[in-house]
Structure 1
Amino acid sequence: MSLLIYQGLTSEEITNLELKDIDLENGTIYIKASNTLNRRTLELLNKQILPLSKYIEEVRQKMLRCNTDKLILNKLGKPISVDGIHSIIEPLKTLFPDRKLNPQTIRMSVICNWLNEKKYDLVKVQELAGHKWPGTTEKYIRVDVNAERELINRYFPLI
């Protein structure tokens, strides 16, 4: 869940993660390129490092039921699938009945937050999200209608 919420990863990116992609010492995670997204190295938050370390060193070892380097395993000890990620989110939908909750909407919310709340610049958000084109990232900018109305009235007043 934290990889969806803090790094804004897609389900596919999560399923493709391998053990070698996590660098706990430097607090980073490497995301491979896909047909639609660029490769990138993202910072892990401090609060993610200890749980990830415990998962890799203890929990994953006990769960493992096949020979795989995939990072995230399902409850059967095999690499998690996109459907598996969706099934983890399914029970959480009742907590947000007025929202369409799925990995894609979580990612969209994260990208919107980076741009509109944290005020990261467009290029930084494009890199964090892995978007190949700035136009893809620009779609997440929320327009402040009141500010636009004020500008229009200031420079083009209706007399």
Structure 2
Amino acid sequence: MITGHQGLSTRDLQLLEVENIQLYKGKIEIPGTKKSNAREIELKPFQLMEFMEYINEVRPKILREASKATEQLLLPIGRSFKLHNTVHKLAKKLKEINNSFTDIKQIRTSVITHRLKQYNLRKAQYLAGHKYISSTEKYLQDDLESLHETINTYHPLQ
């Protein structure tokens, strides 16, 4: 829903509450933590529809089945009481479908690297929620290593 597109960490997802989703403004407010800054991210139209369905239909069913009251937006499913366990199960299923997938952090890395190509360094830092610019700059290095691999693989003199 939002992890892949927005590059949110599992911790970001755990902190989200229903009030953080502003459907009429088309935005999501990501709370800050000790390690990350708060930020506001625009949602795409298809994400708005997904959130609307989740908030109005899916989430209430999960709450009824769990006999639980919480403002947490994303709820664990099954017997697990922690969202981290649910995300881990989803990652495991994704790996079965796609061998090149390694873990959830790979998705976040991919999104941040893409943002660095799309925006300037400061905007990418803001969207990633990094407190320090050096945290965002590390992703520039990741992109350079990827470029070197591609060049070495497809260079005509190889």
Kindly report structure 1 stretches of 4+ aligned residues shifted beyond 3 Å: 76-80
* 1:10 aligned residue: 9
Matches within 5 A, 1:58-137: 58-64=57-63, 65-76=67-78, 80-100=82-102, 102-116=103-117, 119-137=118-136
Counterpart Cα distance in 2 of 1:68 and 1:17: 11
Cα deviations by residue, 1:97-148 (Å, 9 ceiling, x for unpaired) = 1342x221110111011113xx311010000000011111111112366xxx
Identical-pair percentage: 33
Alpha-carbon contact 2:80-2:86 (below 8 Å) kept: no
* 1:153 aligned residue: none
The structure number with the bigger radius of gyration is 1
Q: How does the TM-score come out when normalised to structure 1?
A: 0.81
The reply on whether 1:26 has 2:25 as its aligned counterpart is yes
Structure 2: runs of 5 or more not aligned: 149-158
How many residues were matched structurally?
141
Cα deviations by residue, 1:5-55 (Å, 9 ceiling, x for unpaired) = 111100011011100110000011111111111001111111100111011
AA aligned opposite 1:106:
I
Alpha-carbon contact 1:63-1:77 (below 8 Å) kept: no
Counterpart Cα distance in 2 of 1:3 and 1:54: 14
Which 10-residue stretch deviates more, 130-139 or 74-83? 74-83
* 1:39 aligned residue: 38
Counterpart Cα distance in 1 of 2:31 and 2:41: 11
Query: Would the alpha carbon gap of residues 49 and 78 (structure 1) be closer, same or farther in structure 2, given more than 3 Å must change?
Result: farther
Counterpart Cα distance in 1 of 2:70 and 2:5: 25
Alpha-carbon contact 1:3-1:9 (below 8 Å) kept: yes
AA aligned opposite 2:112:
I
Structure 1: runs of 5 or more not aligned: 146-159
Query: Would the alpha carbon gap of residues 75 and 98 (structure 1) be closer, same or farther in structure 2, given more than 3 Å must change?
Result: closer
Counterpart Cα distance in 1 of 2:80 and 2:47: 22
